[in-house]
Structure 1
Amino acid sequence: MTQSRSPSERRAHLVRLAGDLFAEKGFRATTVREIADAAGILSGSLYHHFDSKESIGDEILSAFLEDVLAGYRSAVGSASGPREAIELIVRSSNATLARHRAALTMLQNDWNYFSAQPRFGYLRTAMKEIEQTWIEQLERGKEAGEFRADLDARLAYRLLRDILWIPSSRPSSTWTSEEITDGLLRLLFDGIRA
């Protein structure tokens, strides 16, 4: 680690290193010592920036969810209708998930741990708002006749969410992130029928 970094740059660097380790090894399996070793500092020095490993995890996850929700709220607020809102949500999700791969992997791998901890109670609230945003737009689209009347909005949300999360946690060398998003939107809105 370069000594010329400001305290905020050092802190951000530590968060990135820790996020990479949490994504690779799992949150619970990663030790403070491993984070410090990766940063080239003593374990005790890490406590100058964070009071615990959970504080680092909290910073990673809360930043991720704040970014997701800001994108969703912006998409819904600027869209002319539910179809456009869904498209903007998909594009926002793709961009946000690409920026927060470590957080997404942490949630996927250690959800049971995080969701059982009072400190991370906000995760359930944020996930509920994310789901509700999708479902409201899908239901609005049904009511407006833009989407099929027999669409199960909750199932559609789960399928779309899972599709979006796959390329973010496993980057592809075959397709760009934008190509994956465009392909998903074409499949979603145009289908595969000739």
Structure 2
Amino acid sequence: MTQSKSPSERRTHLVRLAGDLFAEKGFRATTVREIADAAGILSGSLYHHFDSKESIGDEILSAFLDDVLAGYRAAVLSADDPRAVIEQIVRSSSATLSRHRAALTMLQRDWNYFSAQPRFAYLRTAMKEIEQIWIDQLERGRESGRFRSDLDARLAYRLLRDILWMPTSWRPSTTWSPDEIVDGLLRLLFDGITAR
């Protein structure tokens, strides 16, 4: 006998299916009907769980950013050394991004749409906090002499953020594990590629 899913399990399942569709087709291009079809339910049944497609997107994106910020805030509290904090941020980011691939893809594909909607105003606030945490640590490292004196913290943040986001779009069959990718990035960041 097959047990039916509880309402919270059905909701979680619908969010996952919708996230996969949003990542594949784009948020705006995905219809409520397509989400319902993927779940094997009628379109109207989706409204028992969510009042709109935006509600589903909101759940996906807010969970992602809450997870990212929790990791970043914990990293800042974990050490006084900016290098150690940045290492922890990189490791936390990699783990979080692998858990939230759909959300990251949604942000990358449909940022202009989301950032223009009042409902998603929290995205800009969260992204500013993420950026500020990076910049604060990079500047602390520069000011303490741990990092180069000519380090442009804003540019370094943008480059590192984009590098961290990139592996989530690599095919799952990539030859490197998430830990190997993080270790490679940290070696490149802190040791460079020049022989000593």
* Mapped pair 1:160 → 2:160: yes
Secondary structure of 2:194's aligned partner: coil
1:104·1:169 contact (CA, 8 Å) conserved in 2? no
- Equivalent in the alignment of 1:179: 180
1:94·1:177 contact (CA, 8 Å) conserved in 2? yes
- Equivalent in the alignment of 1:67: 67
Alignment of 1:87-106 (within 5 A): 87-106=87-106
Q: Which runs of 5+ in 1 are unaligned?
A: none
Normalization by structure 1: what TM-score?
Answer: 0.97
- Deviations along 1:161-187, one digit per CA (max 9) or x if unpaired, are 000000013245111111010000000
Partner letter of residue 184 of structure 2?
Answer: G
- CA-based RMSD: 1.0
- Equivalent in the alignment of 2:41: 41
The 2-side partners of 1:171 and 1:80 are apart by 36
- Equivalent in the alignment of 2:114: 114
The 1-side partners of 2:164 and 2:128 are apart by 17
Question: Greater shift after overlay, 161-170 or 89-98?
Answer: 161-170
The 2-side partners of 1:123 and 1:86 are apart by 22
The 2-side partners of 1:3 and 1:38 are apart by 20
- Equivalent in the alignment of 2:15: 15
Aligned residue pair count: 193
The 2-side partners of 1:6 and 1:109 are apart by 32
- Deviations along 1:73-125, one digit per CA (max 9) or x if unpaired, are 00010123100000000000000000000000000000000000000000000
Secondary structure of 2:80's aligned partner: coil
Q: Which runs of 5+ in 2 are unaligned?
A: none
1:72·1:133 contact (CA, 8 Å) conserved in 2? yes
List, as ranges, runs of 4+ consecutive aligned residues in structure 1 with deviation greater than 3 Å.
Answer: none
Aligned-pair identity in percent equals 84
The 1-side partners of 2:76 and 2:169 are apart by 25
Deviation at 1:6, TM superposition (A): 1.0
The 1-side partners of 2:131 and 2:108 are apart by 16
- Equivalent in the alignment of 2:55: 55
Deviation at 1:3, TM superposition (A): 5.5
Secondary structure of 1:51's aligned partner: coil
Partner letter of residue 139 of structure 1?
Answer: E
Question: Greater shift after overlay, 162-171 or 128-137?
Answer: 162-171
The 2-side partners of 1:6 and 1:104 are apart by 28
Residues 1:170 and 1:33: Cα distance change in structure 2 (over 3 Å): same
Secondary structure of 2:151's aligned partner: coil
The 1-side partners of 2:55 and 2:32 are apart by 11
The 2-side partners of 1:79 and 1:45 are apart by 48
Residues 1:137 and 1:149: Cα distance change in structure 2 (over 3 Å): same
Deviation at 1:5, TM superposition (A): 1.1
- Equivalent in the alignment of 2:139: 139
